[in-house]
Homo-oligomer: A and B are copies of this chain.
Amino acid sequence: MKTAILHSPGDVRFEDVDAPRILAPTDAVIRLSATCVCGSDLWPYRGIQPVPQPTPMGHEYCGVVEDVGRDVKHVRPGQFVIGSFFASDNTCPHCEAGYQTSCQHREFVTGAQAPKLRVPLADGTLVATPDMPTDDLVPSLLAASDVFGTGWFAAEAANVKPGATVVVVGDGAVGLLGVLSARLMGAERIIAMSGHASRQALARDLGATDIVAERGEAGVERVKELTKGVGADSVLECVGTQQSMAQAIGSARPGGYVSYVGVPHGVALAGEQLFFTHVHLHGGPAPVRRFLPRLIDLVWKGEADPGKVFDLQLPLAEVAEGYRAMDERRAIKALLMP
């Protein structure tokens, strides 16, 4: 089969590899119904993260189980399943506490920009839908695999409550689905920080009540104006740079909550400054597995349509164009059909 391999920054190729098969008795192999390019794939694509060797790409997936190892008890061939970027046993103390991305036996899943994928720890990792989904649901179910789950975690980690005033820093797919998540959690006011007209429009469609186009200190000033000088109750930082982090922390009220869900690149927090802001800070790799049953339910019942973030659809063979379009910000998120 053919799959996406990143050879070096900017060089994604669609190349022949051996089809995946069961290696451990807890594995499953699934045939993907859809996959996509993640904002985090752009870090190595842009050379900000090293590419030491040709690397199979992709960690967002949903599809139909083809085969399972002999120790797999709950996942069965023929089921439509969704998993997340870290495989987890879902039974260790960290999983039990809801932090499956810190599972004591976690394995990073990669190679999902492909027709088939091996998923380790299948029973702990995969969640089946109630039935075989119709095609129109597939993009939203795929979104639950990572971006919706990460946006949801951002809102949850930022303690979004009914009636809250929320700021979302970052207008990528995760930020946009942070907006949707905050709306679903009952936020009254959702301020999306975005300078791009098309993303502003989608943010409003997903639930944003206000848009702040300014960035950095000017953006913080604008948030302060919009909140009568108080600041936001909850701020979702969905970028991962020093500037976005400072913007997020500056936008929160004393005692407010700041979440951060993108891997920070070159971020250093000065302890004394952070201390006097009085914010709560929580983040990390989103434990999507914790939220999957709820997110699948929201999509299944038509209460959430996170698939709206896919504004470009390509055959999997054109994966390289998906990377280019996202790198050049021509697309928010590229859906790839195997």
Contact = CB atoms under 8 A, between A and B. Distances in A.
Interface string A93-122: 110011101101000000000000000000
11 contacts: A93-B228, A94-B255, A98-B255, A102-B254, A102-B276, A264-B272, A264-B275, A267-B271, A269-B274, A276-B284, A280-B280
Contact of A94 (B254, B266, B283): B254
A245 interface: yes
Nearest to A290: B255
A256 to B, nearest CB: 8
B278 A281 contact: no
A104 B224 CA distance: 14
A101 B245 CA distance: 23
A280 B282 contact: yes
A271 B272 contact: no
Contacts of A93: 228, 230, 253
Contacts of A98: 255
A166 to B, nearest CB: 16
A253 B99 CA distance: 10
A265 interface: yes
A263 B281 contact: no
Copies of this polypeptide in the complex: 2
A9 interface: no
B255 A97 contact: yes
A260 interface: yes
Contact of A269 (B253, B265, B271, B276): B271
A277 interface: yes
A141 to B, nearest CB: 26
Interface in A241-271: 242, 245, 253-255, 260, 263-271
Q: Which residue, A270, A279, A283, has most C-beta atoms of chain B within 10 A?
A: A283
A97 B245 contact: no
A285 interface: yes
B263 A272 contact: yes
A287 B282 CA distance: 21
Contact of A285 (B265, B271, B275): B275
A253 B285 contact: no
Given A263-B275, A275-B285, A281-B281, 11 more contacts: A94-B253, A97-B253, A97-B254, A98-B255, A102-B254, A254-B284, A260-B271, A267-B270, A268-B271, A269-B271, A279-B282
A285 B276 contact: yes
Nearest to A242: B271
B269 A101 contact: no
Contact of A282 (B264, B281, B284): B281
7 interchain residue pairs of minimum CB distance: A267-B271, A264-B271, A102-B254, A278-B284, A99-B255, A269-B269, A99-B254
Contacts of A270: 267-268
Contacts of A281: 280-282
Q: Which residue, A102, A268, A278, has most C-beta atoms of chain B within 10 A?
A: A278
A145 to B, nearest CB: 20
Contacts of A99: 254-255, 278
Nearest to A284: B278
Interface string A57-71: 000000000000000
